[in-house]
Every structure is written in structure tokens, then in C-alpha cells.
Structure 1
Amino acid sequence: MKNIRGLLALLLLTVASGAQAQKFGWVDSEFIMAKMPEYAKAQVELNTFSDTWQKEIEAQKKDLEKLYRNYAAEEVVLTEPMKKKRQDEILQKEQDIKAYQNKQFGYEGQLFKKRQELNKPVQDKVFEACEKVAKKKQLAVIFDKSGDLTMLYTNPAHDYTEFVLEELGLGAEDRNQPGPKGVVKTVAPPKTPVDANFETDSGTPEPAPAGKPVRPTKKNSTKKSLK
């Protein structure tokens, strides 16, 4: 896993030397591998190995507990040399259990090696698909969102995860497809209501809507007072 993350994070492809700008993208390798049947099969095998080794460790721990119980029950009748022998047996059993546990589950133990062995073919396929996408889309760099490189923000516009899935034959039909075109509707502009009693600057009434009578307007008249 660590191997592919480093490779994806540092994947540099040849770009024209005179290019004005270099394109880049990112993928989610964990999401991609989770979609791959061979990866799921590898995880089943790993779980089988892990369960087997864990059961062996549990059986050894039961043997250790039995040694403890026997020693506690017989301690009062044991001589000092016998006590020392029993204590050494218990101590050796504890050390054997720890050594076996580290051998199977420790750093670079059997489980670690099995994971690398089973996941490598899957990782290689993801790497090859990423390389093909990078060449098709003319990307200079592809980062791995699931990798050790901390990505504080990822713009969906640069997400090429689905393109890699398509290269692997696992693309979703509803992804990377243009959206459906909706029905084009024409909206008529709103009509401005007309007041039949409203006069324009010229003193002429505005025309009334059809079907409505126009009331005559009263013009202002100036009355002169007679002395």
C-alpha cells in the first residue's frame, strides 16, 4: 500500500518543454482498490491467514494459563528446585508466545509480507491505469488522496479517480457523463398595469386596457374673481 501511494504521489510524466502550464490531478487509490474484485479476494485471504495465526496464539495462551494454574495449585508441595523449573517453563512459554506474535503480526512480519505479496498485483494494475489516464489527459502529476502526502483541500475538478476506474473496466455509468438536457421554457415579460385616470406630461390620458371605459379627466380651470 505504501509503495503505490509513493509512486502515485511522485508520478511525473514527460510534458512538452515549451508548455505554458502543467496539468495535475489526484485520485483516491483506496476507493479504487475497494472497487476491484481481486483486491477483495486478497483481503479474504489475508483475513484467513490472520484468523489462523490468531487462533494459534490463543491456544498457546491457554497452555500458558494452564501452567499458571498448575503452579499455583502445587506451589506449597514443590521443592525450591522444582519451583524454579516450573517458573522457567512459564517464563519460556511467555517468551515463545511473544516471539510468535511478533513473527506473525509484528513490523515486517508474516502478515505484512503476505499483504505486500497479495496486494502487489492490484497495486500494479492501479498504477498502470493511472499512467494511462495521465497520458490521455496530459497530466504532469497525479497525487494520491489516500497516500502519505497530506492534502488539506482537493478540488473535485481535478479528481481523476473515476477515469482510472474506467481504465480498469469498473467505471460507473452515471459518472463522467453530461447531464440530461431539460425542457427550454420561454418566460413572457410581465405586463405593466395601466391606470385610466393617469395623465401624461402632455395632458393626454394613458390608453386603458381593452374592455374598460375611459373616464374623462377634468382639466383645471382658473376662475378670476370679480371685484
Structure 2
Amino acid sequence: MKKLMSICLFVLVAMTANAQKFALLDMEYILKNIPAYERANEQLNQVSKKWQAEVEALNTEAGTMYKNYQNELVFLSQEQKKVRQEEIMKKEKEASELKKKYFGPEGELFKKRTSLMSPIQEEVYNVVKEISELRGYSLVLDRASDSGIIFGSPKIDISNEVLQKLGYGIR
């Protein structure tokens, strides 16, 4: 019996020694409570709308050119048809290239989002890292982006603590 108790005690101590601490945070909640993030989002929305209007204007212009071409098709010579088709294709290509320039994977919107959001995200990351090192957390999960979390105790949610360390009161 003593041997069994010793083994159980050893297993319990080993498990405790390897026990890892976890924490949760809600990145959406944190970012919504950072005014600089909200301003950056608004700025991105405004510039995105402006650029989208530019692209749409070119597409509308190409559409108008095509309608005019269709209406005048019977009156145009082969050479005129060819010239008009090339002009329409050129305008469509211009719209496509502008869209790619602004909204492509390495486009202006991506660069602007990176330049505006990276400093904020880095600051949040540094605070989370600081809290994790202070409290000995091995893992911090974002409940906002991980749909695999079904339940997380509010006791292990460090979102408000992150906001406080960033200097923002809880709303």
C-alpha cells in the first residue's frame, strides 16, 4: 500500500511540475477599446471608399464606352470597330490594374493597414508577453479568433488587464 501511495504521490508531483498555465484574451474587445485602433479603422474605411470610387468610375466609363459601341456598331467600319474595341479593352485593363494596385495582396490598402495597425498590434503583443512572463503563462489564446474554444472561464481572461497596462480604462 505504501508503494502505491508513493507512486501516486510521485505522479501527482510530476504532473504538478509539468502543469502549464493558460490564459485567454479577447483581441476584438481589446482593440475596440483602443481609440487609436478605431481611428485607424475609420481612416482605412475612408481611403478604401475613395479608391473604390476611382475603380468604379473607370468601370462605369468602360461600360458606357461599350454601350455606345453597341449602339453605333452598325455604322462603324471594320477599322473603327477595332479601334473602339481596343479603347474599351484598354479602359477595362486600366480599371483592373488600378483595382489590383489599391486592393491587391500587396496593394496600397494592405500597406496602409500594415503601417497603421502594426504599431498598435505590437504594443498589445508586448503587454500580453509581459503579463505572460510575469504570471508564468505558457499559452495565451485569443477567444475572438479561435472558434475551437467552447468555454473559457472569466478567471483566466486577461483582456481587461491588458487594457489597463496599455493605459485604457475599461468601458
TM-score, length-normalised on structure 1? 0.63
| Residue 29 (structure 2) pairs with residue 23 (structure 1) | no
Larger Rg: 1
Map Cα deviations across residues 85-134 of structure 1 (whole Å, 9 max, x no partner): 11121122112212211221122322122111110010011011112221
Between the two structures, name the one with larger relative contact order (CA 8 Å, sep ≥ 6).
2
Map Cα deviations across residues 7-46 of structure 1 (whole Å, 9 max, x no partner): xxxxxxxxxxx94522110111121011101101111211
Q: Could you list the runs of 5+ residues in structure 1 that have no partner in the other structure? A: 1-17, 174-227
Q: Select 2:36's aligned residue among 14, 35, 38.
A: 38
**Secondary structure in 2 matching 1:140:** strand
Q: In 2, Cα distance between the equivalents of 1:89 and 1:148?
A: 49
**Secondary structure in 1 matching 2:167:** coil
| Residue 103 (structure 2) pairs with residue 69 (structure 1) | no
Q: Which amino acid aligns with 1:162?
A: N
Q: In 1, Cα distance between the equivalents of 2:148 and 2:91?
A: 43
Q: Could you list the runs of 5+ residues in structure 2 that have no partner in the other structure? A: 1-15
Residues paired across the two proteins, number: 156
Contact 2:33 2:168 in 1 (8 A): yes
The equivalent of 1:169 in structure 2 is 167
Q: In 1, Cα distance between the equivalents of 2:82 and 2:146?
A: 50
**Secondary structure in 1 matching 2:144:** coil
Q: Which amino acid aligns with 1:109?
A: G
Q: Alignment identity in percent?
A: 36
The equivalent of 1:147 in structure 2 is 145
Aligned-residue Cα RMSD (Å) equals 2.0
Q: In 1, Cα distance between the equivalents of 2:18 and 2:84?
A: 77
TM-score, length-normalised on structure 2? 0.81
Map Cα deviations across residues 172-216 of structure 1 (whole Å, 9 max, x no partner): 28xxxxxxxxxxxxxxxxxxxxxxxxxxxxxxxxxxxxxxxxxxx
Map Cα deviations across residues 37-63 of structure 1 (whole Å, 9 max, x no partner): 110111121112101101111211221
| Residue 120 (structure 2) pairs with residue 127 (structure 1) | no
